[in-house]
Each structure stands twice: as C-alpha cells, then as structure tokens.
Amino acid sequence: MKVTARHINLFPVFFMLLLLQTWSIISSGQSVQGNGGKSYFLQQYTDENGLLQNSVTDMLPDKAGFLWLATQSGIQRFDGAQFYTPEHNRSDVSGFLNRIWSLYYKGDTLLAQTTDLQLIYIYASRIVKITPLNFDSIGVLLLNSKIGKLNSYAVLKQSVNFKRQNGLEGYTLGDQLATDTIVEVSQAHMDWYNAAGLFKEIPIQTTKEVNTLFKPPYVVYFRDDGMLQVYNAKGALVSEQMGPEKHNEDTKVVVSKNPDVMGYYAIGSTVFSVALNKEHHVVFDTVLSQFPRALLLSAIWKKDEFTLVGSSASQGLFVFHTVPFTTLLPPASEDIQAVFYGQAFFPNNSTILSGRGLLFRNGAYIGVEPSLQNAASFTFMTDRSGSLWYSIRGTVYRRTPDGIAHPVLFVEKGVRAFYQASGGKIWMSDAEGIDIGYIVHDSLHRIKLIGFNDSYHVETFYECPDGLLVGTSGGIYLVKNGTDKGWLLPFAKGKDVRFIEKDGRGNIWCATYGDGLYLYRNGEAIHFPLDVESRLRYVHAAIPDKDFKYLFLPTNHGLLIADYHKMLSYADTKEITPAYVYFDRNYGLHSNEFNGGCNPAYLRLPGGKISLPSMYGLVQFHPDTLARIYATTDSVLYIDNVWVDGVSQNAVRDLNCGPRTQTIQLHVAAPSWTKISGSQMRYSLTTDERFDRPVWLDIPASGFITIPVLSNTHYHLLLRSAFGTEAGMHRFNFAIAPFWYQTTWFLLLIVLGSVLLVFLLFRMRYWSLVRRNRQLESHVRAATADLRATNLQLHRNNVLKNRLLSALSHDIATPLQYIERALISLLRGGDHTNVAVPKADLEDVVDTVVNLECLTDDLVRWSQLQQNADTFSVYNENFLLADLVAEKWKPLRSQAAYKNLSLELIFDARQQLFTDPKLLGIILYNLFSNAIKFSSSGKVMIDVFYSDEKKLCTVAVSDQGKGISQQRLQQINGMLGVSPEKGTNEEGGKGIGLRIVRDLTHALGGSIAIESRQGQGTVVNIHLPAVAFVQRKGMIF
C-alpha cells in the first residue's frame, strides 16, 4: 500500500534550534515522537523503476554523503532527491544485480556481495568488474546478518593469512553455532574481528537470528528472553541486564556511526538507542516511540545531520529526519508561564521580549530586562519607529530605541491591547473597555462602544476602510471614521472575539473563543465547521503562510493547519468541508494551550518563522517546514498490518481470504501515528464499489479496525479524514472467497452446461432445417434449370422461325421473280391463244418450279440444323462436282444471261467429292446467286483443289463483280451477318445468304474464307475436310 503523504508532529527542542534540510520525491511525511527534546520527521521515497517496492537488503552511506541501497531487484544510489543506477557495459550484470545481499566500502570502491558469493566492484558509480568472493583477500567484511552462516565462517576459519594480518591467530570459531544460526556482523567497522573469538564462549542455543551490536572492544548480545549481555574482546562476560522489552521476531538491530552510541534496535513499534556507560552497562534512550511495524530499521545515514533510515518489504525507503520545532523557555521554572503574557520583537537586535522582561535571541534565552520585570501586560507593541509600548501598574510607557522609557499616561485598570493605526495613531484599551480610545499629546481621546457592558473586555483592534474594528468578548464594534462611537456588528453579537486581521488577499479572519473561526468579506460572515474534537472552537488566530497555501490556527488545544484555498472554497460553495491537521502536547508541544488574549497574537520573525505564546514557552516554527509535510488529501493513511483470523498478512492493498474466514483486523497508522482519534480518521465498509452514500464510523484510538464474520463477496474499506473529500479517499479491498459450490466458476460451469445443452438442441434443429432448406433449394434449382432449358428452347425456336422466314423470303423470292418475269413476257406477247410460247422459256419455268420444290426441302434441312445442330445428320456420298454445279446453275441461267454472265468450271469434270451433295448444293446455289447479284458482266468461275500443306479440300467460287470494300469485308469475315446490300441492278435481299453458307459449311466440318477487292471481284473459298477430295484434274469449260 503506497504511502503518499505524511504529517509532521513537532517536539520541543530544549535551548536549541535543530535545523532541517529535507527533501522529497513524493509529497509524504510523518513525524514520530522521541525523548530528550528530539523529534523525527518520517518521509517515504520511491523510485521510478520500482526497485524499492521490494525488500531493501542492505544500505550503506558513502564518503560523499550518498546512500547506496541493495534490494532484491538491484542496486541504486540515493542522493536525497533522486535514485541512480550504476553504469555498466556488461551483458551479464542483470543476473547479479537482483541477488545483492550486502554492501561494504574498501577504499573508494564499493563492494557488493551477491547471494551466490559473487563480488561486484563499483567505482565512481560504475560497475568495473565481477569476481567470485575470495575470503583470503576480502575477509568477512561483506558477511552481514543475511550471509554469515556456519559454512561461510568455516571457510574463514581456514584463512590463516587473514588471521595473521588481523591478529587473530589465537582466536577460533566455536563449534556451538547451529547450522542455520545467523550472526549479526557489523558492516560499518573493519575491526569486527574483536568479536569473532567470542562465539566459542557465548552459549548460542537458538536457531533464530542472533541480534548483536559490536563496538570494539565490546559486543552486546540480545538474547531472546530480553537479557542483554556485554562481552569483551577476550570473550569474557562483563555485564548482564534485562532489556526494556522482550525480544521477538520483529526485533531489528543496526550499528551506529555515532561515537557516543553503539547502535539502535527496534522492538515492535519502539526504537531505542544503545550505549555503554563507564561501568559497561547498557544505557537505553527511546528515540522513536511509534516506529511503523512494517518497516525494517536498516542503516544509519548522516547527510548534513544525524538521520535514521528504514525500509519496508513493500513500501520503499523511509528516512527519519530531525524536525525543527523550537520552544523557548526561561531557566527559572517560576517564569515559565510569563511568556503567556505576550511578546514583542526588536528587529534592530533580533530580540524577542516576553512577559516579566524575558529576552530571547537566536532561539535561546539571554536574560531579563530589569526595567521590564514588572511588566505583566498581555500586550507588548513595537510601533513603526521602533518604540516599545507597555504598561506597568497602570502607567503606560513608550520606550524609545535608545532605551529610555517615557511615561505617557495612567490607566487605572491597566492596558489590555495596543494597536497602531494609519498615520501613526496609537489606539489602546483597558481590560474593561472603560478607557478606550487613541492617544493624542500624551492623553487619551476616548470613544464609546454602544451597548458595551461591564462583563465585556476589549481584546484586539484592526483598521479597515470604514474605520476601526474593535474585538471584544461581546462581539465586534465598528468605530467609523470621524466618529467617537462604536456600534456592534450583528453577525458577531455575543462572540468572544480574540483576533481580527486582514490577510494579503483581502480576506478578514476573525477568531473567537468558543465559537470558532469566521471569514468576513463583502459584508458577509462565513462560519467554518469545527473539527471532530472541536479544537477549533477556541481558536486564537488565523495565520496564512507567505504563499497563501496554508492557514495556521493556534487554539487552546494545540496547533491546527488547514488548506487556505479549501477554506476559501468552503466559504464560496459550502460544499468542500475543510480538513484540519493538528499538533499538540502528544506530538511535541510542551503545552496544548496557546494564548489568545494577547495582542498581537503572533509574531512574524525574520526568515519567515512564526512565534506563538503558549502556557509553556514561546513556540516557534517555520511555515515552509510544516507546509512540506502537510497533506490536504486523505491518502495519508498507512495500514501497518492486516490479520486474518489472527495470522499476519503484512501490509497489502488487496487481500483474498478463504471461505471460512472469521475475522479480519487492520491496524491503521494515521498522520499522528500515536493517536488515531487526533487524526480525525473514519472508515466505511461496503460492497458497493461506487461507495454510494457510505456510512462513516470513527476509527478507534488504538488504530485497530476489527471486521467480524462476513458473507462471501467482495468488500471495499474506505478510509478518510472526518472532514475530507471523497476525491482523496483511501481504499482497501478484500474478498471472502465462497465455497466451491458458490464460486463463480461453478455457477459459470452450470450456466455454460445449460447453454451448451440449449445450443446442442438448437443446433440439431438448425441442421434439420438446413437439410430441408437444401432439399428445397435442390428442387428449386432443378425446376429453374428446366425452366431455363424451356426458355432457351423457345428462344431457339423463335430464332429459327425468324431465320426460316428470312431464308424463305430470300431463296424463294429469286425463283418466283423469274417465274413472274416469264409470265409477264408471255402476257405481253399478245393473244395467248394464238401466240406460241417458246419451248426454252417453258423449260425454264419448269426448272424454276422444280428448283423451288428442291429449295423448300433444302430450307427444311437448314431449319433442322438451326434447331438442333448437335443431332443434325449429314449424309456423305461420292458424286461428280460438275453435275452438282450444273444442277445448281441451271435455275439461275436466265438471270445470268440477263447480265451476260457465264459459268466457267476450272476443274476436271470427272472430279468427285465425298460430302453431303444436298448441303453443298445449297451452298453453291447461294454463292452463284450472290455472284450474279453483284456482277454486271463477265464470268462466274468455280474451282476445286486440294492443299497438301493445309490438308484441306477447297471449293472456290469467284466472280468479276463490283467487289467488297475492306471495311465491309472485315465485318463479313468477323460476323458473317451484316445489313443487306443492293445488287448491280438494284436487286434487294435480306442479308441471310452468307449466314446459310456459313452454317451449312460448318455442318460439313469446314469453314469459309472470303477474299475481295473493290471493283475487281470476289472469291469465296469453301474449305472442306481433306477426305472430301477424291481426285483432282484441271479442266476448263
């Protein structure tokens, strides 16, 4: 549990001022009480690397005043402000640094011993080498309490050279050491050997740690039963006595470098200093009465002043500093309370005057001023000229800086208060408020306080812009400028006002005796809530520090400190309740009671110190010192230890307890560490992590919080000051583990099992639905495929229909046109009955009609091909190509003759082909028709040949017509279907002839290629498989 802040308790220092030079890495501080006028301020330090969160195994100051720390996580150097890790350039250092057990200086080199007996040399904060430990050269200088076991001493016993060098020839180590006995050996002295020979005489019968302190030539042995034995270098027992307490496992011993003190040891929560008197008896002095149980007293470190150092297994490093807190007292006991009468300061010689002429300078009593021995006034005042104002037996004196006392006037009841206003006007009042006014030419110009009665008395004055404020035991009166009367302010009616003062921020503070503290501003008086112990009820002054961060409040019950800004925030919003930290007689002050009836209530001394009169001396302190250690948050708590069913768990932040836990007990150390009640600490226990409306209980004065049997769950213990804010709450978490059948894992297992069962059921249902969906999807896909096939077939039939209509309109139109022309020619010939029809014309008509019949059959074949190309049947046979050409040219003879076209066969008339003659006939017919259509005259030539290189039989039809442009030729070769083009005699067409040629050629297993030049003619090559060519001989018709 991290300690983030500490408070200081101040203790009297008799006749001297102990200066403090403190520092902090984190804002933390705590003072612990001691005897002999000493006090210590405990401060915690942590490093950024977190090494100090582990146990500090050894500490050693070097010659430069720095502190070296060995921990279970490494080694560091501490300069009072920062931590430094020694430099190195070795890759194996990290393996040694986390096992350092003890430290020692040899010359200017720091030697660090590891748990596996390796020796690390550190020079100028740099690791220079690492070697195995050599006892002949090093001795046992590094064998401290954690390593000095029997096996190590046995090695040392054989080291003859070491004994000879150190005069140990006559000494031997006894055989009575138990194997696991640990012997405390001083790591701070090289002449430890003076005690080495003692062990053969000391009857060590325990296996626990043996606590010893060495101070040559003596050794003090602390027995477990509380007996302390002192031996000399020869092993003889020189004295024996009981210690202050019985030793236990918490006993810690450390050697001192102070020549007057052998060392220190802590038993429980008390730290004693140990010294030997002339009779060799042990003399004890209580140094710290509230030493934290969780700390390990590890070393003595002297940096600028004597300092104790402790460490904790989990809290880092703690340093006990001497705290400056001075109480000035006269030597005569009968004059001790004279300081209660007031004080005045003379800046010319830095002297403080108190009651009965007591004089103090530089923190010490210097004597009595004879002329002021009878001055028993509750007020002394030095004016701006340096003159001292006081009264003796009713006579008012003004003592000038030259030491001459001038009587000014006589006041029967004596002077209760002096005050110097602006313009040098001196105001004064007697105790009963009868003689009250300001001094003019050694006489008193009186004023009247309206409503002021005999039971009241005047306490203080303060000048404000409207006039003069007069604080009395019956309230505050305002004497307005230019008047001689004072009127009671309503808010202060009936209040015993002891202090009125305006700070440097324009706030007027008003301290009362019995009603606490007020802030008066903007015509409004704000009353501050009291602390838990109601100490603020009897407040005597409100003193801000120079930076206006803190407010110091002397009371009848000690000195309180509050945060200045939080006090103002409360005055503004009434929401942030201020927290008060206090110091009283339990924490260092000789008296709880400060004087609130004197004026001025405090003095600011050169250097910033504040001096306060009390019932037992003048108390002086420096605000900056208290400000450094004052914490305004509630995170100043320190949990010393936690016990679960009586078993210590050490200081932890989070704790897990078993299911059968009966009680949990915590010991809380608060800012005082001596009285929890004075720390105003409270606690709340809840299971609500948000702490919604917690119920607060006071922490007992013992500091122990006992939590009885609780149910199995998580708990949050909240600690805070009684008036603290929730932002600074300190939290301790613990949990009572449930039984196995109540554990979250068991319940989770049940839930997971149920969820798994439900999941499996849903999974089975899911896969059933998946299978059904897949079946439905399969049926849908099958139906969709059938529908698509049907749609495709309908589409194909529709395309076939369109193509068939186009083909019919193309191939039937031509013969019909011929028949039409023939019939028209017959009609034009005259009387039909008398005109003889030429036989040739009739033959042509017959041929055309026959050809139409054949063409109809051919179109049916082509439509079958379009409808189902995969099952289309081709009937190959041998035939004479010349016969087929003649057959297909015959119907076109009249059209050819009309354009003076002739057919020329460029192949042997005996050439046979092996292919389907009907399909090839349709191809030739379409090619002859196109050749006639796009020619004006000339020849239509047909040839057939075989290519050995390409293994093709080619039937080529060529004409001498107008040809085809290259752009249109590319379209024809690429698409074989383009928009129709008119012939040479404006013959129309449907643009389907070449598509028929292509489809039928593909059906025969061939391909088509067209070559043409515009104006020269066109050649259409029908490439058939090689098997179609039977024989080839050239012949021209």
Interacting residues of 522 by C-beta distance below 8 A, sequence separation 6+: none
pLDDT in tens, 259-270: 567 777 777 667
Task: Read off the CATH number of the domain in which 691 is found.
Answer: 2.60.40.10
Phi, psi for residue 829 in degrees, rounded to 5: -70, -10
pLDDT exceeds 80 at position 666: yes
When divided into structural domains, the chain yields a total of 3
Average pLDDT rounded to a whole number, residues 917-946? 89
Rg of the chain in Å (alpha carbons) = 61
- 717: region left, alpha or beta (phi > 0 left; psi from -120 to 50 alpha): beta
Residue 433 confidence class, pLDDT cut points 50, 70, 90: confident
Q: For residues 1000 and 923, is the Cβ–Cβ distance under 8 A?
A: yes
pLDDT of residue 145: 33
pLDDT exceeds 70 at position 428: yes
Where in 36-108 does DSSP place strands (E)? 39-45, 56-61, 67-71, 74-78, 83-84, 100-106
Tell me the C-alpha to C-alpha distance, in Å, between residue 376 and each of 110, 337, 358, 404, 426: 63, 11, 11, 19, 20
pLDDT exceeds 50 at position 184: no
Average pLDDT rounded to a whole number, residues 728-735? 75
pLDDT exceeds 50 at position 26: no
* 404 or 74, which is more confident: 404
- Take residue 570 and report the two structure tokens written for it: 């409360």
pLDDT in tens, 698-709: 777 677 889 887
pLDDT exceeds 70 at position 36: no
pLDDT exceeds 90 at position 940: yes
Interacting residues of 611 by C-beta distance below 8 A, sequence separation 6+: 343, 345, 352, 602, 603, 605, 618, 619, 620
Beta-carbon count within 10 A of 475 CB? 22
pLDDT in tens, 99-133: 777 777 777 888 887 777 678 888 888 888 888 76
* 438 or 575, which is more confident: 438
CB-based burial label for 610 (10 Å; 0-12, 13-18, 19+): buried
- Take residue 517 and report the two structure tokens written for it: 């503290």
pLDDT exceeds 80 at position 550: yes
Helix (H) or strand (E) holding 240: strand 237-242
pLDDT of residue 533: 74
For the chain, give the percent of residues with pLDDT over 90. 15
* Identity of the highest mean pLDDT range in 145-149, 173-177, 724-728, 894-898: 894-898
Task: Read off the CATH number of the domain in which 1011 is found.
Answer: 3.30.565.10
Write out the DSSP string of 499-525: EEEE-TTSPEEEEEBSS-EEEEETTEE
- 735 and 871 inside one domain: no
pLDDT exceeds 80 at position 817: no
Q: Indicate the pTM of the whole model.
A: 0.48
* 189 or 43, which is more confident: 43
pLDDT exceeds 70 at position 301: no
Question: Is it true that the peptide bond before 203 is cis, omega within 30 degrees of 0?
Answer: no
Q: Which amino acid is at 857?
A: D
Tell me the C-alpha to C-alpha distance, in Å, between residue 497 and each of 159, 169, 182, 597, 669: 80, 81, 65, 9, 37
412 in a structural domain: no
Where in 523-609 does DSSP place strands (E)? 524-527, 543-544, 550-555, 558-563, 580-583, 603-604
- Take residue 365 and report the two structure tokens written for it: 């009593």
881 in a structural domain: yes
pLDDT of residue 380: 83
pLDDT of residue 5: 28
105 in a structural domain: yes
Considering only 817-821, 963-967, 980-984, which range has the smallest mean pLDDT?
A: 817-821
* 190 or 389, which is more confident: 389
218 in a structural domain: yes
Residue 30 confidence class, pLDDT cut points 50, 70, 90: very low
Write out the DSSP string of 912-962: EEEE-HHHHHHHHHHHHHHHHHT-SSEEEEEEEEEETTTTEEEEEEEE-SS
Tell me the C-alpha to C-alpha distance, in Å, between residue 439 and each of 385, 421, 443, 486, 695: 16, 11, 5, 17, 59
* 412 or 809, which is more confident: 412
402 in a structural domain: no
Interacting residues of 768 by C-beta distance below 8 A, sequence separation 6+: none
Q: How far apart are CA 77 and CA 45, in angstroms?
A: 13
Average pLDDT rounded to a whole number, residues 152-176? 38
Q: How far apart are CA 431 and CA 414, in angstroms?
A: 7
Angle at 913 between CA 912 and CA 917, to 5 degrees: 115
Beta-carbon count within 10 A of 354 CB? 28
pLDDT of residue 306: 44
Considering only 551-565, 735-749, 851-865, which range has the smallest mean pLDDT?
A: 851-865
Query: Is beta strand 358-361 parallel, antiparallel or unpaired with respect to 364-368?
Result: antiparallel
Angle at 14 between CA 12 and CA 19, to 5 degrees: 70
* Domain end position, chosen among 301, 322, 343: 322
Residue 773 confidence class, pLDDT cut points 50, 70, 90: very high
pLDDT in tens, 713-731: 888 888 776 555 555 567 7
Q: For residues 9 and 636, is the Cβ–Cβ distance under 8 A?
A: no
pLDDT of residue 209: 42
Average pLDDT rounded to a whole number, residues 659-675? 68
Cα dihedral angle (45, 46, 47, 48), rounded to 10 degrees?
A: -130
* Domain end position, chosen among 685, 715, 739: 739
Q: Which amino acid is at 23?
A: W
pLDDT of residue 49: 61
Residue 943 confidence class, pLDDT cut points 50, 70, 90: very high
Q: How far apart are CA 409 and CA 130, in angstroms?
A: 86
Residue 811 confidence class, pLDDT cut points 50, 70, 90: low
* SS3 label, residue 327: strand
* SS3 label, residue 542: coil
Q: How far apart are CA 497 and CA 511, in angstroms?
A: 6
1003 in a structural domain: yes
- In the chain, DSSP finds a helix count (H) and a strand count (E) of 14, 68
* Domain end position, chosen among 723, 739, 755: 739
pLDDT exceeds 70 at position 151: no
pLDDT exceeds 90 at position 812: no
* 426 or 24, which is more confident: 426
Average pLDDT rounded to a whole number, residues 463-467? 88
- Take residue 149 and report the two structure tokens written for it: 């076991």
Q: How far apart are CA 897 and CA 841, in angstroms?
A: 13
* Identity of the highest mean pLDDT range in 736-740, 871-875, 1009-1013: 1009-1013
Query: Is beta strand 877-880 parallel, antiparallel or unpaired with respect to 109-114?
Result: unpaired
Average pLDDT, the chain: 73
Expressed as residue numbers, the domain containing 305 is 21-322
pLDDT of residue 204: 33
* 622 or 768, which is more confident: 768
pLDDT in tens, 501-533: 999 888 999 999 999 999 988 878 899 988 767
3-state secondary structure 844-856: HHHHHHHHHHHHH
- 424: region left, alpha or beta (phi > 0 left; psi from -120 to 50 alpha): left
User: What is the maximal distance between C-alpha atoms in the chain?
Assistant: 190
pLDDT in tens, 185-235: 333 332 333 334 333 333 333 333 446 676 666 777 777 777 888 877 666
pLDDT exceeds 70 at position 414: yes
pLDDT of residue 14: 22
pLDDT of residue 776: 93
Q: How far apart are CA 294 and CA 284, in angstroms?
A: 23
1006 in a structural domain: yes
180 in a structural domain: yes
pLDDT exceeds 50 at position 403: yes
- 733 and 872 inside one domain: no
pLDDT exceeds 60 at position 478: yes
Query: Is beta strand 704-707 parallel, antiparallel or unpaired with respect to 697-698?
Result: unpaired
Q: How far apart are CA 22 and CA 323, in angstroms?
A: 9
Average pLDDT rounded to a whole number, residues 738-760? 87
* SS3 label, residue 118: strand
Q: Which amino acid is at 154?
A: A
Helix (H) or strand (E) holding 123: strand 118-123
Name beta bridge partners: 265.
Answer: 253, 272
- 101 and 245 inside one domain: yes
- Take residue 266 and report the two structure tokens written for it: 């802590």
* Identity of the highest mean pLDDT range in 333-337, 338-342, 600-604, 649-653: 600-604
pLDDT of residue 554: 93
